[in-house]
Chains A and B, each alone.
Chain A
Amino acid sequence: MRKLEEVIKNKVIEASRKLDENVLEKLRSAYESEDDKNAGIVLKAILDNISIASETGLPLCQDTGLFWTLISYAKSSPYSLSDLVSTTYEALEKAAVEGFFRKSIVADPVFERVNTKTNLPPVVNIELIDGDVSTVDVLLKGFGSENCSAVRMLNPTAGKDGVIDAILSMVREAGGKPCPPMFLGVGIGGSLDRAAFLSKKALIRKREHEDWRYTDLEDEILERVNTLHIGAGGLGGRATALEVNIEYDSTHIAGLPVALSVSCWADRKAHIEVREELWRED
């Protein structure tokens, strides 16, 4: 087995038990600044749950999610893309077993809905990047929040206000369903599917925008979403969303696609840089 397989497997299992420091920090500060009684109780339970998961080794949430993966293949990699994809697949298969993940995937979406009993297949996205260090990103995508994700095809002249209104309307409709406080990934531009892909990519990490207007837009969306007072657990209060990230792309003269991917407070993800030493066989 390659070292890489072991590393992906371990990081994915760890993601189901532990949150990134950035996510933890935002949850702690939401608890400290909350003045609504019910929302405070919910945020305290969330922080307790995080400690219990870490102490016992139980998953944070029973919905250990659908594996949403992004394989960013570096053009000068010393291995093939197909080897990288199959190594990732095998690592996920082992993570589901060794991590006691819930088997949440059904093969046929409409009729039999028979469980594959492996938590596979994952959703696999592939993109090409420059250089020789490929990356593998995995989101453990819970579906309480995914069911609140959506795309709107706006008028090309809708502008910034149109984008904000669309997102507010999608978040309002989500209400207390996606286990708020939420983390929001926003994808703008491209086509319907491209915008949706970008909204997931936005959940992976925060981008330093060269165009500061997009950074401002992230801040403004976060501020406006928090005026909805959906709050932790949907019971009111300040903390409806804790972070908004945008990814954007060029689009057609006739359109302005806007996609929203909603993550619950348990924003679980693994990021692996495929350095050469990880590619060696053990």
Chain B
Amino acid sequence: MERRLRLPYESIDELREVRAGDYVLLSGTLYVGRDQVHKRLGIMIEEGESLPFQFKGNGIYYMGPSPKMPGFVLGAAGPTTSQRMDPYSPMLMEKGLLLMVGKGPRKNNVVEAMKRYSGLYLQAFGGCGALYSQRIKSADVVAFEELGPEALLRLTVEDFPTICAIDSTGASPFFLS
């Protein structure tokens, strides 16, 4: 079914009611981080440092945009492969970051953590960088500016299209090898 999810979400029930295969349109605030951000967040958690944004109620989008062109909010902005974040995702879910947006299947450790913490994994359409760029209304660097295209960003998105690839019960339409 088609759903709309407003971010930040207010109650975890909003994540729990989404089912694998649902078409989900996101609107509101969405944070962005990929490989190096995950590595750094992992270190910050291990060392007990304060986190650069509030995890609870928010989601993270695995993405590294191409450079901003004149007249645009940012460049192409499609998802990157989620599996590279798998070593870190359970730790982030434990700290309250339950909503993940990326592309491709996840490893079992992530699915198990999703069942434990009521996580939700949405798949954005891979390679559709121009389409997603048009659904992003603002983009600001929150932390790690020195990482360039890998910096931690805060986006405002509108009708950002995804498919629920793994729901909080662990169900998934994915091809699993």
Closest B residue by C-beta to A59 = B76
Contact yes or no, A235 B165, CB < 8 A: yes
- Contacting B at CB under 8 A, from A97-134, are 100-104, 115, 117
Given contacts A45-B125, A234-B104, whether A103 and B175 have CB atoms under 8 Å apart is: no
Neighbouring A residues of B128 by C-beta, 8 Å:
45-46, 48-49, 61
B104, A100: Cβ atoms under 8 Å? no
With A59-B75, A61-B78, A179-B103 as contacts: A229 and B21 at CB distance below 8 Å? no
B80 touches A144 (CB 8 A): yes
- Return chain A residues, CB-CB under 8 Å to B165: 235
Q: How far is the CA of A32 from the CA of B161 in the complex (A)?
A: 21
User: A63 — which chain B residues lie within 8 A by C-beta?
Assistant: 64, 66, 78, 80, 129
Residues from chain B with a CB closer than 8 A to the CB of A228 are 175
Contact call A233/B65, Cβ cutoff below 8 A: no
Closest to B63 in A: A62
Q: Mark B4-16, 1 if CB is under 8 A from A, else 0.
A: 0000000000000
59-116 of chain B: CB within 8 A of chain A: 63-69, 72, 75-78, 80-81, 83, 103-105
- In the docked arrangement, what's the CA distance between A63 and B64, Å? 8
Is B123 located at the chain interface by the 8 A CB criterion?
yes
Q: Is the CB of B175 within 8 A of A102?
A: no
Q: Which residues of B contact A61 (CB under 8 A)?
A: 76, 78, 127-130
- Say whether A233 contacts B130, CB under 8 Å: no
Partner of B126, one of A52, A117, A179: A179
Q: Which residue of A lies closest to B82 (CB)?
A: A177
B131, A100: Cβ atoms closer than 8 Å: no
* B contact patch SS: loop
Given A56-B134, A172-B177; A177-B127 close (CB under 8 Å): no
Contact count band on B: 35 or more
In the assembled complex, the Cα of A62 lies from the Cα of B21 at a distance in Å of: 25
A60 interfacial by beta-carbon distance below 8 Å: yes
A273 to B149, CA, bound (A): 34
Which residues of B approach A to under 8 Å, CB–CB?
21, 23, 63-69, 72, 75-78, 80-81, 83, 103-105, 123, 125-131, 133-134, 148-149, 161, 163, 165, 173-177
In the complex, given contacts A64-B76, A235-B165, what are 14 additional A-B residue pairs having Cβ atoms less than 8 angstroms apart? Answer: A42-B163, A46-B127, A53-B76, A58-B133, A60-B76, A61-B130, A62-B66, A63-B64, A100-B75, A102-B66, A147-B81, A229-B175, A234-B123, A234-B175
**What 8 A-B pairs have minimum CB-CB distances, sorted nearest first?**
A179-B126, A49-B128, A53-B130, A62-B76, A102-B66, A45-B125, A58-B130, A49-B131
A-B contact pairs, 24 of them (CB 8 A): A37-B21, A41-B163, A49-B78, A49-B128, A58-B69, A58-B76, A62-B78, A63-B129, A100-B68, A100-B75, A102-B64, A102-B149, A103-B67, A117-B148, A142-B127, A144-B103, A172-B177, A175-B176, A176-B104, A176-B174, A177-B83, A177-B103, A234-B123, A266-B127
Chain A residues packing against B (C-beta within 8 Å): 37-38, 41-42, 45-46, 48-49, 52-53, 56-64, 100-104, 115, 117, 142, 144, 147, 172-173, 175-177, 179, 228-231, 233-236, 264-266
